[in-house]
């Protein structure tokens, strides 16, 4: 299988600049053979493509695409710490979905992140995952994603 950067290019994607923190934290940190990302919002050039609750102002399809953007932002944070070629496997993804009261499709929304990771890393992109509905997210974002990545040391 080709390198992750090549697969991103094949998908018509490039890593964005690392999203600057909106509070007192860093985008990603390495501890031994793991890189932990902070929660990544679907910011594109500093802006959210949409705000509000999924199942309300934001459709599940829009939110799924934003989860994909979150994963791309998380990969940019990993790349800044160790480089994507050092990724051994994606271990865990946690996705948060700002949900309207009756919305229960959180797993399908976070599939946007999981599917991207599979496209980029193949079998090494298969991961454990949680998809959680929440009342609010920072900046009124509909989705937030964080990851744990095993890397070659």
- What pLDDT sits at residue 22? 83
Q: HSE (CB half, 13 Å, CA atoms) of 32? A: 1
What pLDDT, on the 0 to 100 scale, is given for residue 41?
A: 97
CATH (domain of 56):
3.30.1330.40
85-118: per-residue pLDDT in tens?
Answer: 999 999 999 999 999 999 999 999 999 999 999 9
In order of 93, 99, 130, the CA distances from 16 in angstroms are: 19, 27, 25
Total of domains in the chain: 1
Which structural domain range is residue 98 located in?
4-151
pTM here is: 0.96
29-48, pLDDT tens digit by residue?
A: 999 999 999 999 999 999 99
Beta strands in 38-153 (DSSP E): 87-98, 128-134, 143-151
């Amino acid at each position: 299988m080709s390198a992750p950067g090549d697969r991103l290019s094949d998908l018509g994607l490039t890593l964005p600049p690392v999203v600057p923190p909106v509070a007192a934290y860093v985008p990603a940190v390495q501890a031994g053979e793991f890189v932990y990302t902070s929660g990544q919002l679907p910011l594109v050039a500093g802006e959210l493509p949409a705000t509000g609750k999924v199942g309300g102002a934001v459709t599940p399809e829009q939110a799924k695409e934003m989860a994909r953007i979150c994963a791309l932002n998380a990969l940019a944070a990993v790349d800044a710490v160790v480089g994507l070629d050092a990724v051994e496997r994606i271990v865990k993804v946690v996705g948060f979905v700002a949900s309207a009261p009756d919305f229960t499709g959180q797993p399908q929304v976070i599939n946007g992140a999981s599917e991207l990771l599979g496209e980029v890393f193949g079998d090494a992109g298969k991961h454990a995952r949680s998809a959680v509905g929440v009342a609010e997210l920072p900046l009124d974002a509909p989705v937030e994603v964080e990851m744990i990545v095993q890397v070659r040391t």
